[in-house]
Amino acid sequence: MELNGIQSDDVTSGESEKDEAVGPKQPNPQQQRPWRKTPSGVSSVATANMEGASAGGSASIARRTSSSSSARQRIDSLKKNRPPFPWFGMDIGGTLVKLVYFEPTDVTAEEEQEEVENLRSIRRYLTSHTAYGTAGIRDVHLELPGLSLCGRTGSLHFIRFPTHDMAAFLQMVRDKHFSSLHTTLCATGGGAFKFEQDFLQMADLELYKLDELECLISGVLYIDSVVPSECYYFENPTDLEHCEQKAFPLENPYPFLLVNIGSGVSILAIYSKNDYRRVTGTSLGGGTFLGLCCLLTGCSTFEEALEMASRGESTHVDKLVRDIYGGDYERFGLPGWAVASSFGNMMCKEKRESVSKEDLARATLVTITNNIGSITRMCALNENIERVVFVGNFLRVNTLSMKLLAYAMDYWSKGQLKALFLRHEGYFGAVGALLELLNPS
């Protein structure tokens, strides 16, 4: 028996992503590092840049004082230990592809003169648009300006598009001649395996495949370390009139549960940066919500499904405890408003004929969210963990589900469990892939 939905008008659209359950593993040893190893794994631009940096450093050392020579040596060392631009990280999920792009804003006049046209074209295209093609979106509200990364200062951009548009993306990559700048792209998610040959054949790019759970964790920890207000919770989640969003400092967070809600759901127990395991998961996630809504209501997008859910009433569809007992089930402490059977009222023909599509969408959202909350609570009890962090594109500005999860965690645990949320919900895997690109080891 689960909680009934919480009515909220503060609902905006979201979109789900695939979250395959993949255990921790090392990248294939036959994979070439994206920019550090043999010539097949290093672009000609990267080689030229590194050789130029080395030669420039040697010439400067001969001309300058010992103080400036040391500074130049440090600059040269940085150049040798970072890849050439552009810097990307990609997470290819079952429903969405997430892309993060670092745009340097400290480009010197010398660098600008030496910048090849292909690199300039890619930067202008990505930063001068907020929409790409028919469904690609740059989430401007998530942009991180003034970020220091690998010795450079710039802005981190967050871009997403449906996985079924992969062919159009690969054509764009080919048209922009991306392979003239890099021969390898760091990617994670199940699609890094599924689309490996498509990248090679259509865009002349190898994918350096990374474990998605490792990328997810490293991305979460990194973004939280550079964005002070990244983590938040809902204060008074059981009191709709006084429920409000509050920042939560995720300092020394261990241990915590990390619940990644995409097309499906994976639940990880995190004990330290390098000590974690996948506890369990469920196939009933954001993809289930959208799929059922398409069948039940005729909607075609996640945004449309969420909008319909925001105007519906799930109690018209679900059978509640009070529908069975006439009130509370006091012996076991179950309130009358708790859901006894999701969609239980739909066995009655008269009630089927009276419900709206909005009611069906709301009941579907409540059913999926309650199931995730129930499984998460059981995992927290088994692992003796009191802190739960929810991420994934299913929650992207999906306030209704977030409040419902916060409500469920607080109510059923009698205040012992705190549900936490992160502002860059579904991009952490892509951030982890970017960090791996910049990892000189």
Rounded to 5 degrees, φ, ψ at 436 are -70, -35
Sign of the CA dihedral running 409, 24, 289, 96: positive
Q: Is 261 left (phi over 0), alpha (psi -120 to 50) or beta?
A: beta
- Which residues are marked as active site? 212
In the DSSP assignment, the letter for residue 94 is: S
Cβ atoms 404, 234 nearer than 8 A:
no
Here the tokens at position 320 are 């509640």
Q: Give Cα separations from 414 to 238, 333, 375 (angstroms).
A: 11, 12, 16
**Burial category of 224 from C-beta neighbours within 10 Å (exposed 0-12, middle 13-18, buried 19 and up):** buried
Rounded Cα gap, residues 311 and 309, in angstroms: 5
Pairing of strands 184-188, 206-210: parallel
Q: Which residues make Cβ contacts (< 8 Å) with residue 88, sequence separation at least 6?
A: 99, 100, 101, 102, 185, 186, 434, 437
Burial 282-305 (b: 16+ CB within 10 A, else e): bebbbbbbbebbeebbebeebebb
* Kind and range of the H or E run holding 111: helix 109-114
Size of the chain, expressed as the number of residues it contains: 441
Task: List strands edge to edge, sheet with 275-282.
Answer: 244-247, 231-235, 418-422, 387-391, 256-261, 265-272, 275-282
Buried b (16+ CB within 10 A) or exposed e, 307-326: bbbbebbbbbbbbbbbeeee
How far is residue 78's CA from residue 66's CA, in Å, rounded to a whole number? 18
Tokens of 199: 């990248």
